[in-house]
Chains A and B, each alone.
Chain A
């Protein structure tokens, strides 16, 4: 199984390492050459330097044979464009897109993109954490 990860920040690099450990053939693309260091000293997969909206680069990175594409750059708009290109132009079945802005995440989810919104997850988790706190009974309003 081949996975293409666009964006090698904290998120992208961790996904790449995780999938690689699980047996995926992983290619990572980042604009910054230094991002390769996030993949450790002995990264066995491929790493290409360039912009994820560059179709020639995506081809070079093997998008045509990819089973999964993850758009995880630090730009929401870059991610949703890459995600749509992967889905509509290259017919990739599994496209996952990181979108920090909940409103844009909802908009593109409605449009058939599989978005993951870490902001929403944080909001839910933090809210649940507060709910689960033990508050002294006398402070709970009836």
Chain B
């Protein structure tokens, strides 16, 4: 298949190398002069110099064919977002994979419909949570048929949600707060409920929304 890789840093260059080894046709795009010179020694005509968010650079790399796959792997999330949007929406590339450098930008990729994405920080944290028993978000109940689950989250002093009303929280789609337990007394969570440090909050959500919920409630 034909693959265009935008960004020739460690990630992009290694991905391009691996794809070539697997026998695929690859064009790598790198903007920085010194990095490009080094890459050119190895990749020769398979690397092009330019800003991969410029349409003429993308067209020179064959975006109009279009490629079977475009990988937006630069070190800048805004660039990766724009590359992915242009590839999908202007050139009709069917498969685009984008790298998220700063996990806080994940929401922007989701908002603009860029998927799948890969974020090293998130992957590492997922592994850490798998290895270390987590206390911040406990799975209480899985409703398999409904494809929903109920979790408990403990709000602490450093949580960004502490002191905020629930209606002011930017909860992910597919997640709702059910109840708030404070000083041994539980109340149904409504928009006007204000969260405080020490609250135990029950939430119902679609599986896979845990990280987004954590981000909103706990910033973890």
Residues on A with beta carbons closer than 8 Å to the beta carbon of B199: none
Q: Name the prevailing secondary structure of the A interface residues.
A: helix
Is B79 interfacial (CB-CB < 8 Å)? yes
Q: A9-17, A19-27, A75-83: which one contacts chain B?
A: A75-83
Binding site secondary structure of chain B: helix
- Which B residues are CB-close (under 8 A) to A75? 78
Residue pair B81, A81 in contact (C-beta under 8 Å)? yes
| A-chain residues with CB within 8 Å of residue B112 when the two chains form the complex | 81, 84, 88
Question: Interface-forming stretch among B18-26, B32-40, B48-56, B62-70?
Answer: B48-56
Q: How many residues of B contact A (CB 8 A)?
A: 21
Note all chain A residues with C-beta closer than 8 A to B89.
Answer: 107, 111
Pick the residue among A81, A104, A111 that contacts B108 (CB under 8 A): A81
Query: What's the least CB distance linking B173 to chain A, in Å?
Result: 12
Stretch of A29-37, A51-59, A114-122, A134-142 that contacts chain B: A51-59
Q: Is the C-beta of A68 less than 8 angstroms from some C-beta in chain B? A: no
B121 CB-CB contact with A under 8 Å: no
How far is the CB of B217 from the nearest CB of chain A, in Å?
Answer: 14
What chain B residues lie within 8 Å of A85 (beta carbons)?
Answer: 108, 111
Is B9 an interface position by the 8 A CB rule? no
Pair B55/A53 contact, Cβ less than 8 Å = no
Q: Which of A54, A77, A78, A104 contacts B104 (CB 8 A)?
A: A54
Nearest-neighbour CB distance to chain A for B207, whole angstroms, equals: 24
| Interface flag for A124 (CB, 8 Å) | no
Question: Which of B78, B79, B111, B170 has the most chain A CB atoms closer than 10 A to its own CB?
Answer: B78
Q: How far is the CB of A84 from chain B (nearest CB, A)?
A: 6
- In the bound complex, how far is the Cα of B112 from the Cα of A48, in angstroms? 26
In this assembly, does A89 line the interface, its C-beta being within 8 Å of a C-beta of chain B? yes
Using CB atoms, name the residue of chain A closest to B78.
A77
- B60 contacts partner chain A, Cβ-Cβ < 8 Å: no
Q: Indicate whether A101 reaches chain B with its CB closer than 8 angstroms.
A: yes
A88 contacts B82, C-beta separation under 8 Å: no
Contact, CB under 8 Å: A76 / B104: no
Is A126 located at the chain interface by the 8 A CB criterion? Answer: no
Q: CB distance A88 to B111 under 8 Å?
A: yes
Task: Check A103/B56 contact, CB under 8 A, given A56-B160, A111-B89.
Answer: yes
Q: Other than the known A76-B53, A85-B111, what 10 A-B pairs have Cβ atoms closer than 8 Å? A: A53-B77, A56-B160, A77-B78, A77-B82, A81-B108, A84-B108, A84-B111, A84-B112, A107-B86, A111-B89
Could you tell me which A residues sit within 8 Å of B by CB distance? 53-56, 75-78, 80-81, 84-85, 88-89, 101, 103-104, 107, 111
When A and B form their complex, which 6 residue pairs have the shortest distance between CB atoms, in order from nearest?
A77-B78, A103-B55, A77-B82, A81-B78, A78-B78, A77-B79
